[in-house]
Amino acid sequence: MAPQTDYRQQLIDALIRRLYDLSEESLAQLSTYISFLKWQEEQWRSIVGDAERPDLAVVWQYDFIEHFDEASKAGTLTEQGMEIKIGPAQCGMVQKMALWQHPPLKGEAVVEYQPTIPADIEILQLRFAIGVRDGAILSEDNPVGFRIRLNGRRIWSRVKHTNAWEYFTVDLPTLAGTTPTIQFITDALGVHHWKWAVWGEPQLLGLVEKEEA
């Protein structure tokens, strides 16, 4: 066994031994954190070059948090009870910068962006996490809805009744040289209470194929 592989296995064995001393609650928190670390590594690979797709390179990035002031915010039926802002959010004991989007008493909360996509983009991906901030009391019959629309057409949706972050990558049409309308939407789906919905670190990534040396 190679020295590096041997050291890695020793670390794994040591971690496994320590796991037996943890409570069920701590194990659940650890599982969430491991999921976050895996997603974080995937995000890093997307910036420096994906090991599975070495032929692609990230050439453009649009951070929805940074461009929050440029977005429009509205409720479809009412704005009563709606809260939209940016800030740190903790979900499943993991904190990250997020778009806070508590839906209104009735209808949807909509945050709308219109980024201009460079003309040389070949592949476009939307990457983000969704969560419900810690402290919210949720259940299977009291979920919150998350949706994304592109130019008025729904391209992604989820119903969530747990707090912990979930991570997603959505492949989009290249839309090169255009200014599309991208809407982040949340819906209370009935009961308004505890719908502390947040979008974690949402970004658009533009990729191109690397030129052969």
Name the pTM for this structure.
Answer: 0.75
- How far apart CA 27 and CA 19 sit, in angstroms, is 8
Is the pLDDT reported for residue 78 higher than 60?
yes
pLDDT of residue 48: 43
Assess if residue 45 is contained within a domain: no
Query: What gap in Å lies between CA 62 and CA 16, rounded to an integer?
Result: 39
Domain of 107 in residue numbering reads as 54-209
Cα–Cα nearest to 200, from 168, 153, 170, 158:
168
Does residue 20 form part of some domain? no
Q: Is residue 167 part of a domain?
A: yes
> Does residue 190 belong to any structural domain of this protein?
yes
Count how many Cα atoms sit within 13 Å of the Cα of residue 119 in the half-sphere of its side chain.
Answer: 0
Instruction: Give 143 or 34, the one with higher predicted confidence.
Output: 143
> b/e per residue, 130-164, with b = 16+ CB within 10 A?
bbbbeebebeeebbbbbbbbbeeeebeeeebebbb
Residue 26 vs residue 124, higher pLDDT: 124
Tell whether 29 is covered by a domain.
Answer: no
Q: What is the 3-state secondary structure (H, E, C) of 129-167?
A: EEEECCCCCCECCECEEEEEEECCEEEEEEEECCCCCEE
Does residue 5 form part of some domain?
Answer: no
pLDDT band at 137 (very low <50, low <70, confident <90, very high): confident
Query: Would 132 be classed as within a structural domain?
Result: yes
Structural domains counted in the chain: 1
CATH classification at residue 67:
2.60.120.200
In a domain, 92, yes or no: yes
